[in-house]
Structure 1
């Protein structure tokens, strides 16, 4: 096994025990990038010399007995919405062609303090306003979408071009590409991870979180990201939690898992539904109690999500939309222009709807500890596919389909995790989504870790995409 194939936890253990050096690990990952990046297009830019310098520094620190923890010497990627001092933050857009960040974002500061090795910036759908990331190819099938908007981060992790990466999630932009590329993606509770220094799409819906190969890896990264930040108005004032996971984690005794009787299994591909229901059966076999629940206010989900996101995005881009509109991609420009047509009354009604929806979802969690459902209703589509036809005769846009099952966790601000749950007949990954109560990431991670542990023997390891 090559070092780039190791999970974050495996690589961290090898570095701590002096069986692997940060330099060896980083060189292995950079070689992997050289080998596959031309076919995948995960990165906007690779800072190879900077990464080598950081890895050498980490190696010296560890040799001197200054080991900082499991992210020390670990090479990672950042979605190009996240500022790093001195580096461009392009948001994969011509609008930002001349941009250069003046200071680190808070999450970049945290990862630097933990000793992480920044490899470079990963592609996003332009300004994170889309669910496909057209510059990037799916790690399992290059003719299919990577998912978005954190597609570059997901593909980099799935293909071994990073031990972990960060993404942003406004309507599923961490979880959707995680599901489509067969990795783990975590959207934390709203306000748990600072967004200071992160380009906004929609202030009231945006989250920052990790994309990793395993749930344990996600827990390790999250532990380094949390903490109150007065520079982010939404930042939660809470003591930084920790997320310990058992070595094997196959016991779910006492965990009540909600099984939706509506919405989440409507207009879902048969293979996706079968995989998720099989996962539910397996978790019941690990001791979990399955409880049928009704999802509240489903008819208002799409209108509420769009009613919040579209005007907020347009407000952020107001100046450049007027001065350099031709620099935006057509799909993003149309959405931004549409935001100018949303009235203040419509926006306030969306805010009221969100308040009612949050209250209803909190009551739902009086019955269960975790809600389990598909992450996305279908696996990765062909890159040129615009719509999907469902058996009931409904025609749905691909982006609308991908956002449909992930948006509720953004509206409500609840923690949500996507975990691989098998593959379809074409070998494309399927995602299982686990949603929990506010600030109960530990329960969501424990549940995902238990399911993940049951899917593969410890000695089998994670199967990387081989592009």
Structure 2
């Protein structure tokens, strides 16, 4: 493994800008790394090699002429395969969109390109972002680089695994119920869900529109903040976009000063169902923040315990609506169009063949929850619970600046361990869902190991107070690195050698 693939994005940007190394060299190093190790990891679904190298060459030429570019210019990035990128297949990991090539580029990807970032390719995910393990992908699961027999989280396991395997220094993800934070937690990386409306959803394949939010994935807090600064901000193409400046997340990430910050520990997140090692690392991290000058208070958010069931009514209802567009009539897969079947039969056959089991489960559940006789009892009641969760957050902000909790109740579980039990799978998002329901900013940061696997520390902040998330994350990162003499990923077993291509077979 070359030093270039282990170097963080901020340093790569500096090296490229000073012409100590070229963007082409950096891009080629990462493409070579993908070729060497991605067989068993399966983080990527598609690479964009020629365009990536052409973009890198253009960045080098612009720098050579003396043009001053942004701090991430020339740095490679991986993109979750929900973001439209013109001329590169976008599948949402579903047979329904296999081979579909979008004619336009999403706002978030466009902003990355405008900032000089080099798109390497598209990463794997649970089908239409429905899952917590990246096992529902129609193109096969992604494996956790820490242990190839374990899940990398979901739905954005591909992006997180690409970071942990040093296949990319940055990645884009989306977070609907924890799909950035949960993969970050179980792979020892950093993932942040911005305030809802803080990043544009234009050009991102929709799953649950009132919950989906694009966000940055990285190996360091500063790298995540630099990417957040690039992709954040108002977009007139997205009606849910907030017309306010992006909080100064980069300054917060550089500072890491938590002196006097009031940190609220959510007492509802712990106890039965939480792995002892996860709770131990979490409480050690809280104590470390106290040593760094923070104040800790216990906070009760009584309605958080209802977030999971409420989410799994609201989210499937929106899935039912959003996935209705895949009807075999306009684009995507089409089955049975041989002149012997009616349009309704073609539609039924296509949806039956194109959607996987989890997508079908959620479509059916959501359609039922929205039906005339059950709307008030299910969907309407879930929306009332959502309001109560938002009120819990508002009450908490009166006594604290941020809330903290474990990112996940357990470390990464084994592939196949929960596929037969959807409820066990859904509980992986137990701690992350409340922030999506209320639209708050939240992030997951490494806080140590349990049974040799990464543990995530979740920080939640008020709407448009994303900088607080980074401030606490940076403090924790500094404490952990001082304690261990390096980042958490230096503890990853795969760093002692390359992956065996047969390990995951």
Partner of 2:472: 447
CA apart distance, 1:87: 1.5
Partner of 1:392: none
Q: Does 1:410 align with 2:436?
A: yes
Q: Which digits, 9 at most, give the CA deviation of each residue in 1:223-257, with x for residues without a partner?
A: 00111112111100112333233787454211000
Q: Report 1:130-145 matches (<5 A).
A: 130-134=131-135, 135-145=141-151
> Would the aligned equivalents of 2:253 and 2:471 in 1 still touch at CA under 8 Å?
no
Q: Does 1:335 align with 2:336?
A: no
Q: Does 1:17 align with 2:18?
A: yes
Partner of 1:293: 299
> Would the aligned equivalents of 2:188 and 2:488 in 1 still touch at CA under 8 Å?
no
Partner of 2:390: 358
CA apart distance, 1:18: 2.0
Partner of 1:118: 119
Q: Report 1:186-197 matches (<5 A).
A: 186-197=192-203
Partner of 1:432: 457
Could you tell me how far apart the structure 1 residues matched to 2:169 and 2:71 are?
A: 12
SS of residue in 1 equivalent to 2:144:
coil
Q: Report 1:243-262 matches (<5 A).
A: 243-245=249-251, 249=255, 251-262=257-268
SS of residue in 1 equivalent to 2:251:
coil
Could you tell me how far apart the structure 2 residues matched to 1:250 and 1:207 are?
A: 25
Judging changes above 3 Å, is the alpha-carbon distance between structure 1 residues 294 and 241 closer, same or farther for their aligned structure 2 residues? closer
Judging changes above 3 Å, is the alpha-carbon distance between structure 1 residues 398 and 62 closer, same or farther for their aligned structure 2 residues? farther
From the CA coordinates, give the structure whose radius of gyration is larger. Answer: 2
TM norm structure 2: 0.88
Could you tell me how far apart the structure 1 residues matched to 2:15 and 2:488 are?
A: 16
SS of residue in 2 equivalent to 1:86:
coil
Task: State how many pairs are aligned.
Answer: 460
Could you tell me how far apart the structure 2 residues matched to 1:265 and 1:214 are?
A: 30
Moved more, 340-349 or 50-59: 340-349
> Would the aligned equivalents of 2:253 and 2:474 in 1 still touch at CA under 8 Å?
no
Could you tell me how far apart the structure 1 residues matched to 2:290 and 2:485 are?
A: 24
Partner of 1:373: 405
Judging changes above 3 Å, is the alpha-carbon distance between structure 1 residues 136 and 95 closer, same or farther for their aligned structure 2 residues? same
Partner of 1:391: none
Q: Report 1:35-184 matches (<5 A).
A: 35-134=36-135, 135-184=141-190
> Would the aligned equivalents of 2:247 and 2:464 in 1 still touch at CA under 8 Å?
no
Could you tell me how far apart the structure 2 residues matched to 1:8 and 1:49 are?
A: 21
> Would the aligned equivalents of 1:248 and 1:450 in 2 still touch at CA under 8 Å?
no
Moved more, 449-458 or 136-145: 449-458
Partner of 1:204: 210
Could you tell me how far apart the structure 2 residues matched to 1:166 and 1:77 are?
A: 6
CA apart distance, 1:266: 4.4
CA apart distance, 1:17: 2.3
CA apart distance, 1:350: 2.0
Tell me the C-alpha RMSD between the 2 structures: 1.9
Moved more, 359-368 or 119-128: 359-368
Could you tell me how far apart the structure 1 residues matched to 2:149 and 2:65 are?
A: 47
Judging changes above 3 Å, is the alpha-carbon distance between structure 1 residues 241 and 258 closer, same or farther for their aligned structure 2 residues? closer
Could you tell me how far apart the structure 1 residues matched to 2:84 and 2:253 are?
A: 35
> Would the aligned equivalents of 1:200 and 1:206 in 2 still touch at CA under 8 Å?
yes
Could you tell me how far apart the structure 2 residues matched to 1:3 and 1:385 are?
A: 36
CA apart distance, 1:97: 1.3
CA apart distance, 1:279: 0.2
Q: Which digits, 9 at most, give the CA deviation of each residue in 1:70-119, with x for residues without a partner?
A: 12001001100000111211001110013111111000110010001000
Unaligned runs of 5+ residues in structure 1 are 389-394
SS of residue in 2 equivalent to 1:34:
helix
Q: Report 1:386-405 matches (<5 A).
A: 386=418, 397-405=423-431
SS of residue in 2 equivalent to 1:245:
helix
Partner of 1:238: 244
Could you tell me how far apart the structure 1 residues matched to 2:252 and 2:394 are?
A: 28
CA apart distance, 1:398: 3.4
SS of residue in 2 equivalent to 1:456:
helix
CA apart distance, 1:298: 2.9
Q: Which digits, 9 at most, give the CA deviation of each residue in 1:172-230, with x for residues without a partner?
A: 00011111111000000000000000001100010100110011111100000111112
Could you tell me how far apart the structure 2 residues matched to 1:421 and 1:182 are?
A: 8
Judging changes above 3 Å, is the alpha-carbon distance between structure 1 residues 298 and 463 closer, same or farther for their aligned structure 2 residues? closer
Moved more, 192-201 or 322-331: 322-331
> Would the aligned equivalents of 2:9 and 2:170 in 1 still touch at CA under 8 Å?
yes
> Would the aligned equivalents of 1:77 and 1:118 in 2 still touch at CA under 8 Å?
yes
Could you tell me how far apart the structure 1 residues matched to 2:182 and 2:99 are?
A: 30
